[in-house]
Amino acid sequence: MKKILFNPFEQFLERPLILFGTAATIVLSMTAAYFNARFDGVLDLHFYSPTFMADTLMDNALNIVILSLSLFTLGKIRNNKTRLIDIFATSLIARIPYYFLAFFNWNNIILIESEKLRQQFQKAQPGTVPQFENTQMLLLFVFAGVSIVFLAWFTYLLYQGYKVATNAKGAAEVVLFGITLIIAEVISKIIFYLIH
């Protein structure tokens, strides 16, 4: 079970991974729309109301394409035998844990509390710290903590898949992977900015 959760790329061929990853992306994208979640960047999640299924599906499709092309480019540079299908499967599967963060916005709680926090900062006098409710801060703190854990899981899965697809080894590969992930995030933010 541990291998399936943290390195399914050594257990399964790319075609079953793509089928499962595609189905999970579609189902969880539609679910995310119910929770008003938008994945408006490779590493981004924001809550907006209203959100539509077409939006979340488009968000995730763009993110998967950007991530796949970015990592495939690096993979090809580092190992000419790198296949796009393996990187695509990696991108699909790695993003699955990230989609579950949308469930935290049950009854729009994260959206409402984030908006209240933003308004508190706007209303605060210059040089003063606004007063926060304990429950508000606890909720947002827990959500931030869980988001970091799921982001780490996503990144770990992504690197494991990339490593299997490219036969990457050594610290230099980790650094190049990290730089490429940041570049993919920047590209995604530019594209989302231009289309919204």
Domains of the chain, residue spans: 2-195
Cα–Cα distances in Å, from 161 out to 31, 83, 121? 25, 12, 41
- Other beta carbons less than 10 A from residue 6's beta carbon: 12
- Indicate the pairing of strand 37-38 with strand 46-47: antiparallel
Print burial letters for 48-63: b (CB count within 10 Å at least 16), e (below 16). Answer: eeebeeebbbbbbebb
The residue among 59 and 131 whose pLDDT is bigger is 59
The tens digit of pLDDT for each residue in 11-38 reads 899 999 999 999 999 999 999 999 999 9
User: pLDDT confidence of 74, banded at 50, 70, 90?
Assistant: very high
The DSSP-derived string for 142-193 is: HHHHHHHHHHHHHHHHHHHHHHHHHT--SHHHHHHHHHHHHHHHHHHHHHHH
List alpha helices for 35-125, DSSP H.
53-78, 84-94, 96-99, 109-123
Cβ atoms of 31 and 102 closer than 8 Å: yes
Lowest mean pLDDT segment, chosen from 3-17, 26-40, 66-80, 85-99: 3-17
Residue type, 195: I
Give the pLDDT of residue 10: 85
Average pLDDT of the segment spanning 118-139: 78
The owner of tokens 């709680």 is 109
Using alpha carbons, select from 182, 171, 156 the residue that is nearest to residue 66.
Answer: 182
Average pLDDT of the segment spanning 153-166: 96
Judged against a pLDDT cut of 90, whether residue 54 lies above it is answered with: yes
